Structure 1
């Protein structure tokens, strides 16, 4: 990858960005073929129930039935909706062009909110497994279904726990959200200090967490539910921003060819002849002639109209060109839908243009993942967001334990590092197959919330200071540049020495959570802050993990 450089992040268990970047695509897509001899037997909840017959529970219509019964009606509806989108974008301020989209400014509120919850949940959580890797390497259980047909470890695990006759989409009838508590999840987000929530509304599998009128592969038809509405409503009721996570490309989609036969459009934008496997890869997907106009764009604007999100978060755009993804059309509609009512934001995962990824070049904010790449020639003053898992796993993994869920201290240090460099932090949590947040993750989130209750002034609505880090001290500043926050990642002892900030003459210096001003002197370019004797006892300190000092310039 040319003209890219690694973002220096302190990440999971000392994971280096370089290690992750080398393996990322192979890990996610399952193309690494090192077969493990240690394939476990899953707990009863995460393996096939005794006596269960998958064939008896498959979707009532096969793809030919869906084509013959529903395709023409759906394509007619979709075409009308596509024409409406074209009309809205034609009349609106925002156009589906690079010049128009690039003129959109990231809202100030996005730069202020700093901390969000990324809810990784879908049918893959029923499988809930990925082959164990070293503690320095992430795992991607949310690609479980895809790996059943191209990863030897996952195939071996699946055969052992679900059976050789149990196909990928045979997981769908189990995905019912029996333990899904959206109001509780939002309460946990609030208690944790999070200011925005983005669920995986449509992942690469194509399963929609809302009842969509453009597919039967959705929560309405397959679970009799709408998993998005209560989450969105509760988020807004608690003052949180809400996002729409949208995978632009799907692993497979049934396409009606020019002669009326079915073919497979598969990830990222390739075509293959129909095989019976397509039936158990695409259950509930209604075949169409044009993936973009007959499906993706109408389905996406349906979600925008129904739930009025504040953030549009694209994904699965890698390798595919813009002309097959509709990202410009959807983003322009999103902007026009909000124009005059509220400010909204779109990330940078638009796709490829002239063979070049637009990550880091287009969008209101740029996204890194476990400290992945950002281009060297990104725009000056870029706004960005780091996303990573609370555990070693992207997606629910029944193997996760205290050992591979990030500690509270490790998270606070990583979080502070990102914020000091002007970023937001979108923390991915993994709901289990029926929608519950694992207790170990809940505990970590609440620990972070306790820290933020004391130190939030130095985090929210701050900006990067001229010096981001000095030894083990990270800096932020207020938007008016009158206050600097020095966040020490370790207890400084009896004295904190700073070379990068000079307090205003006669001003007072405070440690957040401690009400009394601290003594300080500046000499020869060094500011020395004295810590009281009573704070040398750990039990008397206002928090753990990191300590914030407020300095007036």
Structure 2
């Protein structure tokens, strides 16, 4: 299949619609963990603020959306292109044949870890398996894997890329997480060939065929057990595919959950118990399935418009796509810094996605963005890490955090905007004797009637910044 057919295909242009599936959720039903080790891990995670997500698989060779072109739904993000587009069976065969050509010889996780660390990131979540079922780890449950007999990269000594990635990031003191798709569109105990799949769900009713569903439950349990036992310490089990859930957890007021036709209970209690036996304190993130196995919530491709009093993380793309596309539309470093500041001010973490290409390398622009973010974080990171939100959180161009008695007021500058000489933090009164410094400068600034006055010589000496942070000392 010619690569030219796929350069512009299935570009996640409907991503905002997909994002709604992970935003329409009643967070008032959040269940705090009771396990002391989980609570400690959650507190640690809430302090690190900034993480890296990576979607990577055979689909990167075609430059298409991750997995979704296999899904027989009439949705924009499921669209198929290319010579086999009009025959789903032929398309699926060609897609799964990508295993035989996936050979990321430029794979260098240490380079990724160094770049992410330089940007100020402190945790990583890697896609060990997406919905298509292709495993980026050396599972013993299927041969549809990067270390399988059909995969040319299997001969590479670093072919077990999940193990290599987690080790490289752990070496840089990152918290580590494994993304794992609960649905699996390759295994016959989920998409049973007797019934052709109609949508993203199991192709059969698990209650009608309990033995087959039990086989799928065990398959899932065994794969997660492998990840929890053979890959060193793991801090986060990040589960995607929220339609695989107990029927009684479906919220019929949420549009996409109305389409779930039947019970698909994967037995999360059994999985979580096993996983935490091997990884004490493990954070389990069963996305959108509100309850004890969703230790934090994960709005996708968007930021809540207000402060949330529960643990949460916005997962967002650095470009426009979760998966690799040859010509990515990367956000500016200013946009990314503003996004991080906005999220942290509202009590969340930012999990920023970068997609490796088929050769195992990132776009050059991704490294450049991380370097630019890192420059800002080197100067202003104290207003991000280990902070807590400070009312009024976000107001106008201002964002607020605090660390103990110290408060931080961050001014989000527009493109080309110089720092004003007189600034009044919106909604945050400053006493006349307030001790205020601009991060990066030693001298205290004058405060008159709640207005911060910045000397002209200070403004002239400043480099252009995406955001300016004022430390307000007690």
Provide TM-score, normalisation by structure 2.
0.78
Partners of 2:138 and 2:147 within 8 A in 1: yes
Matches of residues 76-475 of structure 1 in structure 2 within 5 Å?
Answer: 105=39, 107-129=42-64, 141-143=65-67, 145-146=69-70, 154-159=79-84, 167-221=94-148, 222=151, 223-224=153-154, 225-255=159-189, 267-271=200-204, 290-307=214-231, 308-318=233-243, 320-321=245-246, 324-339=265-280, 343-349=281-287, 358-359=289-290, 362-371=293-302, 381-400=309-328, 404-475=329-400
Counterparts in 2 of 1:190 and 1:318: CA distance versus 1, 3 Å:
same
Inter-partner Cα distance in structure 2 for 1:143 and 1:25? 18
Distance, in Å, in 2 between the alignment partners of 1:121 and 1:256 is 22
CA gap of 1:215–1:495, structure 2 versus 1, over 3 A, is same
| Deviation of 1:157 (Å) | 3.1
Change (3 A) 1:442 1:154: same
Partner of 1:531: 454
Q: Which runs of 5+ in 1 are unaligned?
A: 1-18, 27-97, 130-140, 273-286, 350-356
Q: Secondary structure at the match of 1:111?
A: helix
Residue 441 (structure 2) aligns with: 514
Residues of 1 paired with 2:309 and 2:364: CA distance? 39
Change (3 A) 1:395 1:546: same
Distance 1:101 1:262, change over 3 A: farther
Q: Counterpart of 2:178 in 1: which secondary structure?
A: strand
- Whether the 8 Å CA contact 2:123–2:176 is kept in 1: the answer is yes
1:397: how far off?
1.1
Residues 493 and 292 from structure 1, CA distance in 2 versus in 1: closer, same or farther, beyond 3 angstroms? same
Partner of 1:78: none
Alpha-carbon shift at residue 466 of structure 1 (Å) = 1.7
Range with greater deviation from structure 2 (323-332 or 295-304): 323-332
Distance across 1 between alignment mates of 2:166 and 2:298:
23
With over 3 angstroms needed to count, the CA separation of the structure-2 counterparts of 1:389 and 1:267, relative to structure 1, is: same
Partner of 1:41: none
Does the CA contact (< 8 Å) of 1:497 and 1:528 recur in 2?
yes
Q: Secondary structure at the match of 1:368?
A: coil
d(CA) in 2 for partners of 1:413, 1:151? 31
Distance 1:550 1:151 in 2: 48
Retained in 1: the 8 A contact 2:217–2:266?
no
Q: Is the 8 A contact 2:244 2:265 kept in 1?
A: no
Please list every run of 5 or more consecutive structure 2 residues that lacks an aligned counterpart in the other structure. Answer: 1-13, 22-29, 206-210, 248-263
Q: Is the 8 A contact 1:364 1:383 kept in 2?
A: yes
Q: Would you say the 8 A contact 2:72–2:200 is kept in 1? A: no
Q: What do the CA deviations read for 1:192-217 (whole angstroms, capped 9, x no partner)?
A: 11001111011111111111111111
Matched with 1:33 is none
What SS does structure 2 have at the residue aligned with 1:369?
coil
1:20–1:372 CA contact under 8 A, matched in 2: no
Q: Give yes or no for contact 2:390–2:400 (8 Å, CA) kept in 1.
A: yes
Compute the RMSD of aligned alpha carbons: 3.5
1:32 match: none
- When residues 327 and 360 of structure 1 are mapped into structure 2, their CA distance, relative to the original with a 3 A threshold, is closer
> What is the CA–CA distance in structure 2 between the aligned matches of 1:394 and 1:436, rounded to whole Å?
15
Determine which structure has more spread, i.e. the larger CA radius of gyration. Answer: 1
> How far apart in 1 are the matches of 2:193 and 2:447?
78
In 2: Cα distance, 1:435 partner to 1:534 partner: 47
